[in-house]
Amino acid sequence: MKLLLLLALVALAQCHVSRIPLRRGKSLRKVLQEHGLLEQFLQQHPYNPAAKFYDIFGSSEPMVNYLDNEYYGTIAIGTPIQEFTVIFDTGSSNLWVPSIYCKSLACSNHNRFNPKHSSTFVSTNESLSIFYGTGSMTGVLGYDTVTVTDISVLNQIFGLSETEPGYFFYFAPFDGILGLAFPSIASSGATPVFDNMMAQDLVARDLFSVYLSRDSKSGSFVLFGAIDPLYTLTGIHWIPLSAETYWQITMDKVTLHEHAVACRSSCQAIVDTGTSLIAMPNTAFEDLMSALGANSDGEISCDSVSSLPDVIFHINHHRFPVPPSAYVIESNRSCSLGFEGMGVPTESGELWILGDVFIREYYVIFNRGTNQVGLSRLL
């Protein structure tokens, strides 16, 4: 009976935490407290670090699914708060938002931070410059209180953009980017937000986890300091990091019908919430497209989709399948595959990027405490 009550409470909390697109997420602890049930729960279930039901006592930030291309949530900066939508990006490490100093076209239709309106803002003379695969920004660095869901991070360093060249950020549905990778790749040596969360003891565990919905549905979230047991019913496979830069891992091979078609003698990959597709070196892309019957641009006949196989990613001696339902993108009665080639190696060499097409199949745990990535197949 107690277990049924607990499961019901967990389900109730999930309605608040991860499935309704609220502007601010609530932890299960908060939900129980609001319903006058927290004390009873703690008495019936004394704290046990190994008990997975306690893993959900984290802070959940709902994310909007924008056409299965980008996932973004709302944060606040300053006193009083100024709100911004940001990509929670495991492929970079800096936080930045547009500022009133920015004159680029991209800043004209987004929220802009005004440091004069925040009593807790501290300016610096340091500059910031970041280049992404699809855009860039330059600006200055400052310090202020940054609030993510119910977590307030004091003296967080962040970028105030002065230029955002090109059109990518103009058409982006979000304002800025909150990087969740390691300090070693942070531009200008800025301390990432999650590192300050850990340093200021704002999370119960040194990890965060991500669920990305599909088909533009609601329910996506990033959960700080916890693992949601409702998304790990198939078990968790833990993968050690091969570098503490991006969330980088070693991949054994990629197969179709049990035959290796790419990454035949192992390769490096990063798990990146900020990339929409699965990206790979051009040679691997050509080999995979040929094996799947697609042309050099990744386009394929919609009539052949039903006969496509799972693409199997072999990682740390486990198989992680991505079915055609996940990697085929249908638009205007034409079909393409959710893969892309990269002509230019990254700073870490020729990497595969396991972006949203891959992540949507798994609940992903990014564990800074053990330097591991956890993958749990979604039901």
Which residues participate in catalysis according to the annotation? 89, 272
C-alpha 172: how far from its chain's center?
Answer: 17
Residue 267: φ, ψ to 5°: -160, 175
- Side chain identity, residue 100: I
Token pair recorded at residue 268: 């490096």
DSSP-derived secondary structure for 37-101? -HHHHHHHS---TT-GGGGG-SEEEEEEEETTTEEEEEEEETTTTEEEEEEEETT---EEEEBTT
Token pair 């486990």: residue: 318
Q: Tokens representing 199?
A: 């340093």
Q: Looking at residue 307, what DSSP letter applies?
A: G
> What gap in Å lies between CA 294 and CA 302, rounded to an integer?
11
CB 182 within 8 A of CB 192: yes
Q: Where are the beta strands (DSSP E) in 257-346?
A: 259-262, 267-271, 278-281, 299-300, 311-315, 318-322, 328-331, 334-337, 339-342
Q: Across-strand partners of 340?
A: 279
Q: What whole-number distance in Å separates Cα of residue 214 and Cα of residue 220?
A: 9
Give the count of beta carbons closer than 10 Å to the beta carbon of residue 189: 10
